[in-house]
């Protein structure tokens, strides 16, 4: 096929093709079976990459996140069970060696690796489309950058669509909030400005990974799911007590060599203040940050009024 057609296909799949381009692509597909076949070959790569990378558990899974109640309620309930069994068999192929390692031992190793990392930088992705139309006075958590220093220091930078920044953080002692305009507020309350962090009060390992990961060992069922095609191993934690608070499920994707957690996915988060039910937190840097970076002065001009709340 022509380069121009190939470009239409790729831009369509990435959601960047304009309306007239979509119309042109549709016309070609309607009239040229070879073009449709070329589209399908790329479409299979596109979807395969998503299955391999986006959510390792989806690999080879015939019935992704199937509603168990509905599946088992009809006369095809057993068919669902069989299909799910096929999924388990497929996963066994895709997750070699999963059962050979102890999940709790692995978590201890992750905790040790975490304690060796002083500074980390993450990007947060909102995986819950329903949460994105929140309070317009607050920037979305999707795309926010989170810098963390153990123990207890953090800087969370959220951006409005127009590019203005809303920065909150803590230097470990004083917690602060720097909105795009108006007063900078400072408080000694450790939770005062943490609320924008998804699941901020429910022990998810953003800010104090060492202690929060230890909480996972106590409150969650742990299961080591093996290593995916992207080279990351998956440790899955499902909450023991459904009445408890905190994310229902935590997936930790880590480098099996170093034990460094590269990606965390929190699902079933309590929706305090309309926050997302599901977020992914991806490690993008481990470089050392200056001490002053965790104070509010580093994030606003010298003329801003500062209000001490206590």
**Toward another protein, which CB reaches closer, 25 or 113?**
25
282 binds another protein (CB under 8 A): yes
How far is the C-alpha of 44 from the C-alpha of 138, rounded, in Å? 38
Q: Judged by CB under 8 A, which of 7, 189, 291, 307 binds another protein? A: 7
132 binds another protein (CB under 8 A): no
Q: Judged by CB under 8 A, which of 4, 20, 59, 158 binds another protein? A: 59
36 binds another protein (CB under 8 A): yes
Identify the residue whose tokens are 């481990």: 286
**Toward another protein, which CB reaches closer, 89 or 306?**
89
72 binds another protein (CB under 8 A): no
Binding mask 150-179 for another protein (x = CB under 8 A): ------------------------------
Sole window of 42-50, 131-139, 244-252, 268-276 interacting with another protein (rule: CB under 8 A) = 42-50
How far is the C-alpha of 184 from the C-alpha of 83, rounded, in Å? 56
**Toward another protein, which CB reaches closer, 104 or 286?**
286
In this structure, what token pair is assigned to residue 31?
A: 């009239």
Sole window of 43-51, 105-113, 236-244, 302-310 interacting with another protein (rule: CB under 8 A) = 43-51
Identify any residues that bridge with 166 across adjacent strands, giving them in sequence order: 158
**How many residues contact another protein, by CB under 8 A?**
70
**Toward another protein, which CB reaches closer, 108 or 267?**
267
Identify residues 110-129 at the interface with another protein (CB under 8 A): 123, 125, 127, 129
Identify residues 204-233 at the interface with another protein (CB under 8 A): 229-231
Q: Judged by CB under 8 A, which of 16, 100, 242, 290 binds another protein? A: 16
Q: Judged by CB under 8 A, which of 53, 98, 157, 298 binds another protein? A: 53
Q: Judged by CB under 8 A, which of 63, 98, 101, 298 binds another protein? A: 63
In this structure, what token pair is assigned to residue 275?
A: 């926050």
Sole window of 71-79, 150-158, 206-214, 292-300 interacting with another protein (rule: CB under 8 A) = 71-79
* Per-position DSSP letters for the chain, written without gaps between them: --HHHHHHHHHHHTT---HHHHHHHHHHHHH-HHHHHHHHHHHHHHHHHIIIII-GGGTT-SSTT--HHHHHHSTTHHHHHHHHHHHHHHHHHHSTTTTSS-HHHHHHHHHHHHHH--EEEEEEEE--GGGSS--TTS--STT-EEEEETTTEEEEEEE-TTS-EEEEEE-SS-EEEE-SSS-EEEES-TTTTTTTSTTTTTT-TTS-HHHHHHHHHHHEEEEEEEE-TTS-EEEEEEES-TTSSS-SEEEEEE-TTT--EEEEEEES---GGG--SEEEEEEEE-----GGGGSGGGGS-TT--EEE--
41 binds another protein (CB under 8 A): yes
288 binds another protein (CB under 8 A): no
In the chain, the N- to C-terminal Cα span, in Å, equals 68
266 binds another protein (CB under 8 A): no
Closest among 103, 61, 100, 104 to 84, alpha carbons compared: 61
**Which residues of this chain interact with another protein, rule CB under 8 A?**
6-7, 10-16, 22, 25-27, 29-30, 33, 36-37, 39-54, 58-60, 62-67, 70-71, 74-76, 78-83, 86-87, 90, 93, 123, 125, 127, 129, 143, 229-231, 263, 280, 282, 284
């Amino acid at each position: 096929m022509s380069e121009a057609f190939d470009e239409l296909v790729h831009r369509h799949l990435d959601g960047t093709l304009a309306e007239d381009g979509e119309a042109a692509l549709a016309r070609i597909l309607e009239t040229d079976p070879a073009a449709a076949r070329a589209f399908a070959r790329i479409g299979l790569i596109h979807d395969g990459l998503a299955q391999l990378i986006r959510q390792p558990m989806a690999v080879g899974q015939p019935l992704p996140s199937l509603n168990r109640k509905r599946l088992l309620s009809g006369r095809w309930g057993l068919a669902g069970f069989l299909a799910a069994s096929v999924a388990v068999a497929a996963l066994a192929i895709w997750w070699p060696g999963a059962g050979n390692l102890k999940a709790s031992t692995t978590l201890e190793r992750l905790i040790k690796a975490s304690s060796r990392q002083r500074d980390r930088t993450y990007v947060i992705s909102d995986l819950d489309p329903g949460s994105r139309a929140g309070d317009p006075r607050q920037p979305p958590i999707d795309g926010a950058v989170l810098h963390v220093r153990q123990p207890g220091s953090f800087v969370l930078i959220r951006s409005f669509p127009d590019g203005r920044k809303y920065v909150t953080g803590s230097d470990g002692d004083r917690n602060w909030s720097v909105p795009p305009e108006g007063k900078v507020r400072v408080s000694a309350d450790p939770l005062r400005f943490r609320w924008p962090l998804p699941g901020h009060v429910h022990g998810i390992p953003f800010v104090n990974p060492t202690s929060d990961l230890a909480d996972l060992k106590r409150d969650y069922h742990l299961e080591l799911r093996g290593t995916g095609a992207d080279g990351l191993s998956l440790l899955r934690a499902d909450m023991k007590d459904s009445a408890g608070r905190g994310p229902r499920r935590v997936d930790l994707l880590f480098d099996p060599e170093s034990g460094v957690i590269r990606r965390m996915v929190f699902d079933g988060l309590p929706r305090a203040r309309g926050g997302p039910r599901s977020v992914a937190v991806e490690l993008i840097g481990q470089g050392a940050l200056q001490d002053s970076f965790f104070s509010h002065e580093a994030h606003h001009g010298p003329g801003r009024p500062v209000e001490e709340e206590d």
